[in-house]
Structure 1
Amino acid sequence: MTSDGGKRPVTVARDGAWAEWAPSGRTAVPFIALLVIVANLVGVGTVVLLLIGVDDGSGGSGRTEVLWTAVAYLVVALPAGAVAGLRRQRSTSRWLMQGRAPTGDEAAQALRLPLDVALIAASIWLVAAVLMSVVAAVLLPEPLVGLRVAVVVTLGGVVTAGVTYLLTARAARAVTARALAAYPPVGALILGVRPRLLLTWALTSGVPMLGVVLLFLDPSNPDGPGQGAVVFLVVVALLVGALATLLTARAVGQPLRDLRRAVQQVGRGDYDVDVLVDDAGEIGLLQEGVNTMVAGLAERERLRDLFGRHVGTSVAQQALRTGVSLGGEERTVAALFVDIEGSTSLVRRTGPEEMVGLLNRFFAVVVDTVEDEGGLVNKFAGDAALCVFGAPTEHPDPAGAALRSARRICDAVAEAGEVDVGVGVACGTVWAGQVGAASRLEYTVIGDPVNEAARLTELAKDRPGRVVASEAAVRGAAPDERAHWLRDVEVELRGRGEPTATWVRRIG
C-alpha cells in the first residue's frame, strides 16, 4: 500500500550495484553450481598442498598414489555432487526458467539452496576423508599417517562446506528475494544471524586453531610439524577467515544499511519505500517487518488525508490528538455562509454532470480562500457551504478573516463569470463539537451566528457587492478590514424577531 493509494513503492537502492549483482532466472542455479565447484577445487588444492607440506618420514613412498587417489575421487565426486545439487534444486530451476512465482513448497525448497549445497559439499568431503585415510594407511609406511590425512581432509571439508554456504547464500540472494516475495518469512528461520556468526568463528578461529593443535599432537610425527606446514596453515586460515568475515559482514551489514535508509526516508514523510527482502533469517523478518510497518503508516497517512478532506484538516488533526467523543465547547467564531444564486434553474440548463463540474470549481475557490485565511469549511450543503473561523482551533482575528474571505470569494466568482453568489458573515458565540452517534460523528457549530449568516446570504444576492455582514462581525474585525465596509440598513431576519444592523462591502 502506498501513501497516494496507487503509486508503486520504490525499492530502496543499494550502494555499488555492480558489487551487489546476483544471478537470477535460468542462470541462477547453474552459476551457483559452478561457484560451488570452484570453492571445492580451492579446498582440494589447499588440502593437497598441506599434505605435501607435512613431513611424514616416509621419504615420499606412497604419497604419489594417495594424491592420484584424491585426483581420481575428485574427477568422480565433483560432477556427482553438482548433479546431486541440481537434482535437489530442480524445482527451483523449473520456476526460475519459467519466469513465474514459486509455489509454497518451491519457495521453501529455494530457501534451502545454500544449506543443501553446503550439506552436499560436506558429504563429498566426508567420503573423501574416509577414502584417503584408508588409502594412506595402506600405502604409506607409517599407518598413523592415515589418521593425519583423515583429520586434514575433514578440517578442509568443514572449511570448504562453510565457505560454500556463505558464497552460495550471497550468490543466491536474488533467488531468495523472489522466493520471499511470494512467501514472506513468518518465523521459520533457515539459518539465522547467530549460526552464521558461529560459522564465521569456526572458519576464522575454531578450525585453524584445532588444525595447529592436531599438528603438534600428531602421533605419526613425534618431532612436531615442520615450519612450512604451520606457516601454510596460518596463511590459509587468514585468507579463509578474511573471506568468511567479508561475506558475513556483507550479509548482515548491507541489509542493515538498507533498513537505515528506509527508516530515514519514512522519517522524512516519504512512505513510497519497499525494502528488498532477501534473507531467510532474522534479518528477513526485520525487512518484512519494516515493509509491513511502512505499509501501515502509508495506510494511516492515506486515511488521515481522506479524513482531512472530508472533515477539514484542523478537525482531523484535533481528532488525532484528542480522540473522538460526543461533546464540545462554547467558542466565539465568525461564520461565513455562501450560496449560489438560481442553482435550480442553472442545473436545468446545464445538466447534472456539467453542474457537478461547475460546483467543484466553485467549491475549490471557497476551500482555497477559507483555508488560506485560517478557517474551516465545515460542511457542503448542495450548492452552499458553511465556513467557520475560530473553531476547532483558535484564530487571532476570526471576524477579519471571514470578511476578507467573503470579499475574495466574491471577486474570484465574479472574475470566473460562471455563477452568481450571495455571501453572509456573522460573528458571535456558538457551541462547537461532535454531534451524532458513537458510530457516526460529525463536527459542527450550532448557534445564532450560523443562522444569522445563512439569512444574510439571501440579502446579499440582491446587493451589488454580493456580500452582507452583521454589525458584530464588522465591529469585531481589525481597523484595516473595517475600512472595506459600509453600514447598510437594519432588517428583521426570518426567525430572529428583532432588527439586525447590516453592513455591505465598499465598492470602488
Structure 2
Amino acid sequence: MTTRGGSDTVGRDGGRGSWEPTGRAAVPAIVLLVIVANLVGVATVVLLLIGVEDGSGDGGRGPVLWAVAAYLVLALPAGTIAGFRRQRVTSRWLMARREPTGEEAGQALRLPVDTALIAGLIWLVGAVLVAGVSAVSFPDPLVGLRTGIATLLGGMATAGVTYLLVARAARSVTALALAAHPPAGALTLGVRPRLLLTWGLTSAVPMLGVVLLFVDPSNPRGPGRGAVVFLVVVALLVGGLATLLTARAVGQPLRDLRTAVQHVGRGEYDVSVVVDDAGEIGLLQEGVNTMAAGLAEREKLRDLFGRHVGTSVADRALATGVSLGGEERTVAALFVDIAGSTSLVRRTSPAEMVGLLNRFFQVVVETIERDGGLVNKFEGDAALCVFGAPTDHTDPAGAALRAARRICDAVREAGEVDVGVGVACGRVWAGQVGAASRLEYTVIGDPVNEAARLTELAKDHVGRAVASESTVLAASPEEREHWVRDTDVELRGRGETTTTWVRST
C-alpha cells in the first residue's frame, strides 16, 4: 500500500460551525467574550440581591446596588487591562504572524487559567465589598453574610464558565502554540479538571446555594418560592452551557482522532490531526500524528527497500529480521542480457542509453514478478532472476521458461534492443552475503553460472532463449510443449556436456 501524495489534516473547520477567533482578533475577541460572561454573572447576582428581604423593608437594597454598579465601573476596565497585560506576549506573536518561542507558547496555553483567575479575583473582591455594604445597610448584619456568599457563589460559577468559554474560544491559539511546541507530558487543560469543574457548576454550586438558602440565619422562615425557582433555573442554564462546552471539548477531538485512525487503517498514512488541546487529548493527538508519521516513514522505507532487493526479499526481511541467513534451495535461474550492448553504447548518448535500459528492465521486472520470480540483481545491461527463492514456488522451472518466452516476445515487439535469455535449474545456496554493515541477498551455485553461459548461446539463436534439459524436464507438461531439444554443447568453464533446449517455432 502506497501513501498519498499530499498530507491530509483532520480538524475543525469553518464549515462545521467553528467559532474560534484567530490571528490578531483572537485575544480581543476572547476578552470581549469574558466581559460578556461576567456581565451575565453580574446580572444574575443583581437579581438575587434585589430579592434580598430581611423583614424590615427595602431600604438597604439601594446602597448595595449602587455599590455594585460603582464596583463594576472600576472592576471591568481593571480586569480587561489585567487580562491584556497578562497575555500581551501572546498578542504580540499573534499580530506578528510568527511562531512563538517555548516561553510564549507556555504563556498562551495558560490563557484560560489566567483569565479565570483574574475573573475569580475580581469576584472575590466584589463579594467582600457587597458583604460589607450589606452588613452596614441592612438592620440585620447577617444579611451581609447572605449577600456575600451569594456573590461568591455567582463568582465561582462565572469564573468556571469563563474558564470553559476561553478554553473553547482559544483553541486556535492553542493549536498554533502546540504546532510550534508539541505537548511533552505537562497537562495544562486535562480532562479531569474539566469534568470536576463541570460537576461543580452543574451540581456543587447550585446545591450549595440551595442549602445556604435554607440555613440562612437572617431568614429563619426559609427561602421564598421565587428565590428557589430562580436559583434552579440559573443552575440549569449554567449547567447546560458548562456540559455543552465540556462535551464539545472532549467529543470533537475524539471524532477527529477517529477519522484519522480510519485513514491510517486504510493505509493512508499522510494524515495529521490538529493538536489544539494542552491536556491528555493533546498528548493523544500528538501520539496519533507521531504514529502516522512513523508508519508513513516505514512504508516509504519498505517501498525503497523493495525497489532495491525485490518485494519478496523485503517482505521476508521484515518478517524474519535484517539477517535472512542462508539455505540450500532448488531454484530456476534466468539470465537475460542485451546483445551488442558495446556497439549500442558507442552510438547512443548516456541519457538515451539510461532511458533505453529503464524501459528494457521495466519489461523484465514486470514479467518476472508476474510469474512469482525475483529480479535478484541488475548487472549493467543484464539481469539475474530467480524462481524459488527466497520464497517457495510450486513450479520454478516452468515459471522461468514461461517468463523467458514472454521477455523475448515483449522485447521483439518493442524493437529497441536484441537480447539473449538463458534458463537453468538446480540446487543453489540462497541468502545474505557481504559484511556486517552491508548485506546483499543473492543465490550462488552452478545453475546461475549455467544460465549465464546459455545466454551467450541464446543471442545467436533465432528464438533468443535457450534452456538446459534438466530445466525443461522439471517444468510442467504444458510448458514443455513450447520447447524442443537442440544440441549438446560444452559450456565455457563447466567441463561437461550440456543438452540444450530452445523455443519451438
TM-score range, shorter chain: over 0.9
Q: Which residue of 2 aligns with 1:390?
A: 388
Q: Which residue of 2 aligns with 1:171?
A: 169
Once the two structures are superposed, the pairs formed by residues 206-221 of structure 1 within 5 Å of their partners are 206-221=204-219
Cα distance in 1, alignment partners of residues 17 and 325 from structure 2: 61
Cα distance in 2, alignment partners of residues 17 and 200 from structure 1: 28
CA deviation map 1:60-89 (0-9, x unaligned): 112122112212211221122112111111
Secondary structure of the 2:47 match is helix
Q: Which residue of 1 aligns with 2:500?
A: 502
Amino acid at match of 1:427: C
Q: Which residue of 2 aligns with 1:456?
A: 454
Report how far residue 8 of structure 1 moved.
Answer: 4.1
Cα distance in 2, alignment partners of residues 322 and 496 from structure 1: 36
> Is it true that 1:262 corresponds to 2:260 in the alignment?
yes
Partner residue of 2:361 out of 360, 363, 368: 363
> Is it true that 1:335 corresponds to 2:315 in the alignment?
no
CA deviation map 1:118-151 (0-9, x unaligned): 1111111011111111111111222111111110
Once the two structures are superposed, the pairs formed by residues 7-46 of structure 1 within 5 Å of their partners are 7-14=5-12, 17-46=15-44
> Is it true that 1:92 corresponds to 2:90 in the alignment?
yes
Amino acid at match of 1:349: R
Q: Which residue of 2 aligns with 1:148?
A: 146
Secondary structure of the 2:391 match is coil
Cα distance in 1, alignment partners of residues 162 and 110 from structure 2: 13
Report how far residue 354 of structure 1 moved.
Answer: 1.8
Once the two structures are superposed, the pairs formed by residues 97-496 of structure 1 within 5 Å of their partners are 97-325=95-323, 327-496=325-494
CA deviation map 1:83-108 (0-9, x unaligned): 21111111111111121111112111
CA deviation map 1:323-359 (0-9, x unaligned): 1336311111111000111212211211222211111
Report how far residue 56 of structure 1 moved.
Answer: 2.5
Amino acid at match of 1:242: G
Cα distance in 1, alignment partners of residues 365 and 349 from structure 2: 24
Q: CA RMSD in A?
A: 1.6
CA deviation map 1:393-438 (0-9, x unaligned): 1111111111111111111111111111110011111111112222
CA deviation map 1:224-278 (0-9, x unaligned): 1111111111111111111111111111121112112212211111101101100
Partner residue of 2:46 out of 48, 68, 72: 48
CA deviation map 1:288-342 (0-9, x unaligned): 1111111111111111111111111001111111113363111111110001112
Report how far residue 24 of structure 1 moved.
Answer: 0.5
Check the 8 A contact 2:317/2:324 in 1, yes or no: no
Q: Which residue of 1 aligns with 2:81?
A: 83
Cα distance in 2, alignment partners of residues 313 and 364 from structure 1: 15
Cα distance in 2, alignment partners of residues 418 and 64 from structure 1: 103
After superposition, the Cα gap between the structure-2 partners of 1:326 and 1:358, relative to the gap in structure 1 and judged at 3 Å, is: same
Check the 8 A contact 1:326/1:435 in 2, yes or no: no
Amino acid at match of 2:299: E
TM-score under structure 1 length normalisation: 0.97
Check the 8 A contact 2:22/2:172 in 1, yes or no: yes
CA deviation map 1:460-492 (0-9, x unaligned): 000111111111111122222111112111111
Amino acid at match of 1:309: R
Cα distance in 1, alignment partners of residues 184 and 170 from structure 2: 20
Report how far residue 220 of structure 1 moved.
Answer: 0.9
Report how far residue 207 of structure 1 moved.
Answer: 0.8
Report how far residue 152 of structure 1 moved.
Answer: 0.5
Q: After superposing the two structures, state which structure 1 stretch, 431-440 or 39-48, moved more.
A: 431-440
Q: After superposing the two structures, state which structure 1 stretch, 425-434 or 36-45, moved more.
A: 425-434
Check the 8 A contact 2:316/2:324 in 1, yes or no: no
Check the 8 A contact 1:56/1:220 in 2, yes or no: yes
